[in-house]
Amino acid sequence: MTSHSLAHNIGNTPLIELVHLSRLTGCQIFGKAEFLNPGGSIKDRTALGMLQAAQARGELKEGTEVFEGTAGNTGIGIAMLASQFNYKCTIVMPDNQAQEKYETLKALGARLIKVAPVPFANPNHFYHTAKSLAAQTPNSFWCNQFENLDNYSIHYRTTGPEIWQQMENKVDHFVASSGTGGSLAGISNYLKEKSKDIQVTLVDPFGSGLYEHFHTGEIKTEGSSITEGIGIMRLTENYKKAKVDQALRVSDTEMISMLYYLSQKEGILVGTSAALNVFAAFQIAKQYKNSGRRIVTLLCDSALRYQSKIFNPQWLNEKKLHPDLNLLN
């Protein structure tokens, strides 16, 4: 892999201070700009980590068909790299995700299979469907991002060290939501090894069970969320490795208000999970107002991956979502 290859240029993303939110709180809030990865999201790292580890174990060879069940971003990362490595690629997704994700996967040459969104216990869930298709296909590899610890490992080896270095070894808080749990686990472990004083906050949307599990030990929830790719009703092997000190829950109204604030005040177009992360980071900064504490979170992907939804007034009205920048005062 040369320094000019696509795979080599995954990672080493900029760290951006959110200057207006920092001024409002008297803290420093930073976002790791993962939307600037070649495939447009933090999941490029996950895809690279899983495929490279499988290559090293001899589980992949030219012509292998790679399968994955995903909300989209991991699939895009896999499809992008599959083209480079000369693998076939089949991606299974729920049929209620942003249209931009489907179009991107098709443009990358992936075979796309859409399934109805169903609970995890249902055998038709996208996770089980991808696993089953891989089992039925000769010369195949199922990535299994939720349970595959190569996901955790790539973030421990790359994302965590990058944050520590870019922050000049001065981090007070790390804030992140969880889908597979890979980024939260990898980064939290690395940062905690550097300083036990760093506080790690899990951010969870309504409809996910991790917030309640942190506080009560039970996986249960209330409500639902429009966010894609985060929130889950089970403990994955990746998530089990996370080191979490506190958990916050953020509503869709809070998230969408932050998303519009970031676009209009900070000039940064981020997706729903990133806006969720930043809102939680902002809440923590308000708790420590004027303390100068240094808070880092993840800007997972771009708003342009969801623009047919989140910048569509009709869609927002249907979801009863009305961005309110006054929430941030």
Name every residue whose Cβ is closer than 8 Å to that of residue 272 and which is 6 or more positions away in sequence. Answer: 226, 227, 228, 255, 256, 259, 306, 310
pLDDT in tens, 101-131: 999 999 999 999 999 999 999 999 999 999 9
The helix (H) or strand (E) run that includes residue 287 is: helix 272-287
DSSP state of 199: E
Please give the mean pLDDT across all residues of the chain.
96
**Beta-carbon count within 10 A of 68 CB:** 30
Residue 329's pLDDT band (boundaries 50, 70, 90)? confident
Please give the sequence-ordered ranges of beta strands (E in DSSP) within the chain, or none if there are none: 15-17, 28-33, 65-69, 88-94, 111-115, 140-142, 173-177, 199-205, 246-250, 294-299
Percent of the chain residues topping a pLDDT of 70: 99
Q: Per-residue confidence at 319, pLDDT binned at 50, 70, 90?
A: very high
What's the pLDDT at 327?
80
CATH class held by domain 43-142: alpha beta
**Span 241-245, average pLDDT:** 98
Full strand arrangement of the beta sheet holding 246-250: 15-17, 28-33, 294-299, 173-177, 199-205, 246-250
Active site annotation includes 243: no
The residue annotated as part of the active site, out of 32, 43, 101, 309, is 43
Query: Pick the residue with more confidence: 297 or 327?
Result: 297
pLDDT at res. 175: 98
pTM metric for this prediction = 0.96
- Look up the CATH number of domain 7-36+159-328: 3.40.50.1100
pLDDT of residue 28 exceeding 70: yes
| pLDDT given for residue 57 in this prediction | 96
Is residue 225 within 8 A of residue 180, CB to CB? The reply is no
Question: What's the pLDDT band for 89 if we cut at 50, 70, 90?
Answer: very high
Q: Where are the domains of the chain?
A: 7-36+159-328, 43-142
What tens digit of pLDDT does each residue of 190-229 get?
Answer: 999 999 999 999 999 999 999 999 999 999 999 999 999 9
Judge whether residue 2 has pLDDT over 70: no
What average pLDDT does range 38-55 have in this prediction? Answer: 97
- pLDDT-derived band at 162 (thresholds 50, 70, 90) equals very high
